[in-house]
Amino acid sequence: MTATPNSASSPLVLAILDGVGLEDPTHDNALAQANAPFLHAVIAGALNEKPVISLPIRAHGVAVGLPSDADMGNSEVGHNIMGAGRIFDQGAKQVEAALASGDIWGAAWQDVMTHRDHQIHFVGLLSDGNVHSHIRHLIILLNKAAEDGASRLVLHALFDGRDVIDQTAEKYLAQLNDAIAELEVKHPNTHVVIGSAGGRMNTTMDRYEADWTIVQRGWEAHAVGTARPFHSAEEALATLRAEDPTVSDQYLPSFTIVNEAGSPVGRMNDNDAVVLFNFRGDRMVEIYRALAEEPFTAFPRGPLPQNLLVVGMTMYDGDLGIPAQFLVPPTRVTGTVSELLAKAGIAQMACAETQKYGHVTYFWNGNRSDKFNNDLETYIEIPSDKVPFDQLPRMKAAETGDEVVKAITSGKFPFIRCNFAGGDMVGHTGSIPASVIAVEAIDEALIRVNDAVKAAGGTLLITADHGNCEVLIERDKSGNELMDAHGLPVPKKSHTLSPVPFVAIDYSKRTITTAGVSDAGISNVAATILSLLGQPIPADYRSALLTVS
């Protein structure tokens, strides 16, 4: 029997549980420890004796276009690949290819080098997490600048603690200092200084305009040099650790390095150049705007240095043209599932709170900010709380569920997609109790969403973009928990290499079975959506996970 498209009264709903992966039920697995009867049941493959299709699928490494299977997935990559239905090279892999070919040293880099007699600043995440940046890329850029005759290089470092083991800022700072020492021996006419720094969630790396004060602190530290003064980054870290031994790298306060006279050693001046060396775009857009946009009203910035060139590692937002110049050309994905549905005249709704709003819109749509059809697409953003996520770990799960239930009962949308942010954002804090609450809040919302789908005779798909909250303690290669100097487990605040769930709960009169895809990943979700909506699947799409008859 030929599958029939869903009508708006029998919608297809995709719920993306950000950062919820599948692992053994250990004491640090928030999904396993949570009182989440709905999720536990559907992942196990049954719901009130109703058969449910449940599969583990891949969301990391080469399955999502990253260089190797040692690379964890992330929200940007996950939504890109899920919405595109195909695997294509992602940021880290694109940068590696451009470095190997030499294409990275093209016109944008040559423009940077026209400022070689002034300061060249490098702003980005000092990390080897390979999610937003890689310290190896930074070191290559610094050495190339020195080879090309740059006289003074200034680094503005952002500490990680999310994509790598926390409280390791000193490790990456030492690695950087070793590289600087080698560079200055090889290139004695080049001087490298660290001008400022701060934790990524405190300084510079805001996204989706959730909290411009984070960017303001970055501007003050990097550009004008008015953050808390220290004579070295080492002195700053030692002092900040002494003041709060528990402080996470990601929340380290911003600081500026000053000389003996108390003047900043690396403030941005007229005719300087700035290279934003993160390859992932979402947390670079706002600092780019602060350094380049005129007029600028997000915070009291004051005048920019004259003739300040700002270049990004990659294109951060293709529709907004941010940045105007970039070292590595982007992959603009066309033919995404939502583009195909818009062309077919199928109405869609996308919903998430601020922290993940861009993921279910911009990244899902192949790095496109605009809608494909204003008349057919509805986007709903729920403002996120502006507090550390472990303080209000339920986040906006209830409100997201409310909007999805409204969309279902409205009968207007054959396809609805949403993101529940708690597994990722709370998981990044490393707090097991808070992450458990986050999962429980998601479960409560999903129960209501499922009830609405059931009443509408629709279909509910549940998956995730990557893992996070299912492993909240760092382990060695043998699986043993890592302990800190006090004998306490080291919190894991990064994403994981775990598979993620794919669950299908169908209340229509169709017959839906597993298609038996052997290498199933989140790239197969788009074809599955098209199949369930009775739409043709492009030849270059990865196969659907379900068979519909």
Query: Residue 173 and residue 235: Cα distance in Å, rounded?
Result: 12
CATH number at residue 385: 3.40.720.10
Question: Which residues contact residue 491 at a Cβ distance below 8 angstroms, ignoring those fewer than 6 apart?
Answer: 166, 430, 431, 472, 473, 474
360, 362, 366, 369 alpha-carbon torsion, rounded to 10°? 140
Amino acid at 38: F
Query: Residue 223 and residue 124: Cα distance in Å, rounded?
Result: 14
Answer yes or no: is 6 within a domain: no
Residues 241 and 283 both lie in one domain: yes
Last residue of a domain, one of 293, 311, 328: 328
Q: What is the DSSP string of 5-43?
A: PPPTTS-EEEEEETT-------TT-HHHHS--HHHHHHH
CATH number at residue 308: 3.40.1450.10
Residues 314 and 392 both lie in one domain: no
Answer yes or no: is 511 within a domain: yes
Range 127-140 burial, b when 16+ CB lie within 10 A, else e:
bbbbbbbbbebbbb
Residues 99 and 232 both lie in one domain: yes
Query: Residue 356 and residue 41: Cα distance in Å, rounded?
Result: 26
Per-residue pLDDT of the chain (549 residues; tens, 9 = 90+): 334 445 556 899 999 999 999 999 999 999 999 999 999 999 999 898 788 999 999 999 999 998 888 888 889 889 999 999 999 988 888 999 999 999 999 999 999 999 999 999 999 999 999 989 999 999 999 999 999 999 999 999 999 999 999 999 999 999 999 999 999 999 999 999 999 999 999 999 998 788 999 999 999 999 999 999 999 999 999 999 999 999 999 999 999 999 999 999 999 999 999 999 999 888 999 999 999 999 999 999 999 999 999 999 998 876 577 899 999 986 779 999 999 999 999 999 999 999 999 999 999 999 888 999 999 999 999 999 999 999 999 999 999 999 999 999 999 999 999 999 999 999 999 999 999 999 999 999 999 999 999 999 999 999 999 999 999 999 988 899 999 888 999 999 888 999 999 999 999 989 999 999 999 999 999 999 999 999 999 999 999 999 998
Amino acid at 117: D
Answer yes or no: is 167 within a domain: yes
Residues 366 and 480 both lie in one domain: yes
Amino acid at 58: R
Query: Residue 402 and residue 379: Cα distance in Å, rounded?
Result: 14
Answer yes or no: is 5 within a domain: no
Query: Residue 155 and residue 176: Cα distance in Å, rounded?
Result: 10
Residues 288 and 412 both lie in one domain: no
Answer yes or no: is 239 within a domain: yes
Question: Among 331, 299, 311, 284, which residue's Cα sits nearest to residue 80?
Answer: 331
Pairing of strands 512-514, 546-548: antiparallel
Residues 187 and 67 both lie in one domain: no
Answer yes or no: is 3 within a domain: no
Residues 321 and 408 both lie in one domain: no
The answer to whether the beta carbons of residues 299 and 81 sit under 8 Å apart is no
Question: Which residues contact residue 189 at a Cβ distance below 8 angstroms, ignoring those fewer than 6 apart?
Answer: 149, 151
Last residue of a domain, one of 273, 308, 328: 328
Last residue of a domain, one of 280, 305, 328: 328
Residues 345 and 303 both lie in one domain: no
Answer yes or no: is 2 within a domain: no
Domain that holds residue 280: 92-328
Residues 305 and 159 both lie in one domain: yes
Answer yes or no: is 1 within a domain: no
Residues 127 and 79 both lie in one domain: no
Residues 323 and 366 both lie in one domain: no
Q: Among this protein's residues, is 431 annotated catalytic?
A: no
Residues 366 and 317 both lie in one domain: no
Catalytic residue among 75, 338, 494, 543: 75
Tally the domains of the chain: 2
